[in-house]
Structure 1
Amino acid sequence: MSDLESESASDSGPESENDVRAPPPLAASVLLEKTSIVPPPPPPEKVSIRLVSIGSTPSVSPNVIRISGDRSMAAVGQFLRKRLRSKSVHLYIQNTFEPGPDESVQDLFNLFKTKNELIVSYCLQVAFG
């Protein structure tokens, strides 16, 4: 071997030893696991819903409510049934369609908001269709 080859071979030895790291002691690894816990996700965004009565249906107070975006439209319907003391209520988004009870309030808000509010009309009987 020439002098250059022997120097390069001896140089690669110590570098490879430095690359291999021993695992931290058990107490340190437990501490690292505790400190590297992912923080909880932020709470869901609140959505403003403007409630508008249709026809002779009584209006509710307040007519603007704030609800968590991860709730479903069934929660809005339940709120209105309780306020109106009725067994059924029909909800409409912008007087156009009746959303499913399992649809997310946040999804509907993102698609159909007007002036940063979701307009939900309601009545006791079927109004459209």
Structure 2
Amino acid sequence: MLHLPHQPLQVAAVPPQRTPAREDQTGPWHSEAVCRRDEAGLFFAPSKEPTAARLSREESAKRVCARCPVMVECREHALMQPEPYGVWGGLTAAERRVALARRRRREAELKASGATGHIAAAG
């Protein structure tokens, strides 16, 4: 079995001027998505796509996501659903699985530390 060296996730960065989930939202966030003007094939893999082609396509999709005004909302949607396929909010399906696992681990740690602090204070 081939083992590749660990590489950090390559995700589209969230520019500082973007904020998650706007409060003044008048319509669905996806109506403002840049990807609505692109081919769906860029964001979703065709069956039996070769690895090199998939990686190239995903990087192209992430570049589209990087300039999207609703990238944060899209990413959060894909994490909350969870969307099992495609590039959403600058993350691939595999990257979303990792992000969700990290989020769940953090939430469990916070819950455990809160419970531990409560027990220590009572004891």
**TM-score of the superposition, structure 1-length normalised?**
0.23
Bigger CA radius of gyration: 1
Larger relative strand fraction: 1
Larger relative helix fraction: 2
**TM-score of the superposition, structure 2-length normalised?**
0.23
